[in-house]
Amino acid sequence: MKLNEAATARRVDCSVKMLTAFTLALVLAVPVAHAQAPAADAKPADAKPADTRPDTGIDQTIFLTNATQQNDVNDIQTGLRNMLIGRSRIYAVASQNAITIHGSPEDIERARKLIAELDRPRKIYRITYTITETDNGNRTGTQTIALVAATGDKTTFKQGSKVPIATGSYDSDNSKANTQFQYLDVGLNIEFTVEGRVDGLSLNSKVAQSSLAEEKSGLGPQDPVVRQIVLEGTSALTLGKPLILGSLDIPGTTRKQEIAVVSELVK
């Protein structure tokens, strides 16, 4: 009887030890399994939560009053995009001279203030060129050209003649030869652009004076020799104060031309 009780006690003790060992192994294996096989929907530690806030922005189209060129509209659009950094979206509609904005009411109000500061009328100036011609120190004539231009716009003035220049000839089916001509502008040509400065104006000017010489080039019976004088540069102008751009000697003669310019504010 005692032998059966001892055997039973040994079997119970062995079963308890086996159960304890199995439980310990199971507890140790669970963290390792989690470390080796993360959940499919687990997010990285540095992942930022998605912005799930509702879009409460409104749409607004602001029409420009003074921006009449593509570059003006693009400049205003670029300025708004640099200033309104955030959730605002800004689009330029060049065909309508307008800016469309999607953003908060505060962004729309700020955009209105910025556009009011940027969409200003360009100033209009009168630029007067005076060309004085002398011969052996004696004044022989004066020519005055007054042109009105807005800041940033290129203004061109031409006075003279179009001279035909033969550029080639060809025969068509053994018939009479046909001659091709190219027309050359001969005379006075003025191009300039004015830009506003704090203390006056910046004038980018080109004055070209051309004429036909009496001698021929020798390349063909109708090929003329064209004499040309070009004065080009950038100058700083003070309103109402004349500035001499340069003095030119006319080749082959004793004549000289002096070119002066003066600026006035129109509006």
CATH for 105:
3.30.1370.120
Report whether pLDDT(102) > 80: yes
Q: Calculate the average pLDDT of the chain.
A: 78
Residues 69 and 163 in one domain: no
Residues 135 and 102 in one domain: no
Residue 127 DSSP SS3: strand
Tens-place pLDDT, residues 137-177: 888 999 999 999 988 889 999 988 888 777 766 665 555 66
Considering the domain architecture, whether residues 142 and 160 belong to the same structural domain is answered as yes
Q: H helices then E strands: how many in the chain?
A: 3, 11
* Percent residues over pLDDT 90 in the chain: 30
**Percent of the chain residues past pLDDT 70, beyond the cut:** 70
Q: What element of type H or E holds 80?
A: helix 70-83
* Total residue length of the chain: 267
Q: Provide the H-helix boundaries in 37-167.
A: 70-83, 105-118
- What integer is the mean pLDDT of 190-203? 88
Contact 205, 233 (CB under 8 A): yes
Q: Which of 101, 118, 135 is the last residue of a domain?
A: 118
Q: How many domains does the chain have?
A: 2
pLDDT tier for residue 205 given thresholds of 50, 70 and 90 = very high
**Claim to verify: residue 153 and residue 228 sit in the same structural domain:** yes
In this structure, the answer to whether residues 97 and 145 fall within a common structural domain is no
46 CB neighbour count, 10 Å cutoff: 5
Non-local (6+) Cβ contacts of 62 within 8 A are: 98, 99, 100, 101, 111, 112, 115
Count Cα neighbours of 220 within 13 Å in the Cβ-side half-sphere. Answer: 9
Query: Which residues are registered as beta bridge partners of 206?
Result: 191, 232
Tell whether 131 and 216 lie within a shared domain. Answer: yes
In a domain, 99, yes or no: yes
Structural domain includes residue 22: no
Q: Which of 2-11, 79-88, 101-110 reaches the highest mean pLDDT?
A: 101-110
pLDDT of res. 35 = 43
Q: CA-to-CA distance for 250 and 259, rounded, in angstroms?
A: 13
For residue 157, give Cα distances in angstroms to 99, 128, 246. 35, 12, 19
How confident is residue 32, by pLDDT bands cut at 50, 70 and 90? very low
Specify if 14 maps to a domain. Answer: no
pLDDT at 91 over 70: yes
User: Could you tell me if residue 26 is inside a domain?
Assistant: no
Confidence at residue 15, expressed as pLDDT on a 0 to 100 scale: 60
- Residues 137, 108: one domain? no
Higher pLDDT, 171 or 58: 58
Would you say residue 152 lies in a domain?
yes
Q: Is residue 231 domain-shared with residue 200, that is, in the same domain? A: yes
Nearest to 205 by CA among 167, 239, 232, 166: 232
101 and 188 inside one domain: no
Residue range of the domain that includes 92: 58-118
**Looking at the domain assignment, is residue 248 inside a domain?**
yes
User: pLDDT tens for residues 39-55?
Assistant: 555 555 555 555 566 66
Residues 258 and 159 in one domain: yes
d(CA 209, CA 185): 10
The whole-number pLDDT of residue 17 equals: 62
CA distance 202 to 72: 19
107 vs 171: CA distance, rounded Å: 71
Range in 39-48, 111-120, 155-164, 234-243 with the lowest mean pLDDT: 39-48
Type and span of the H or E element at 35: helix 2-36
Distance of alpha carbon 95 from the chain centroid: 17
d(CA 211, CA 182): 17
**Same domain, residue pair 101 and 189:** no
Residues 258 and 130 placed together within one structural domain of the fold: yes
Half-sphere exposure of 149 (CA within 13 A, CB side): 25
- Please tell me which residue, 99 or 3, carries the higher pLDDT value: 99
Predicted confidence (pLDDT) at residue 21 exceeds the cutoff of 70: no
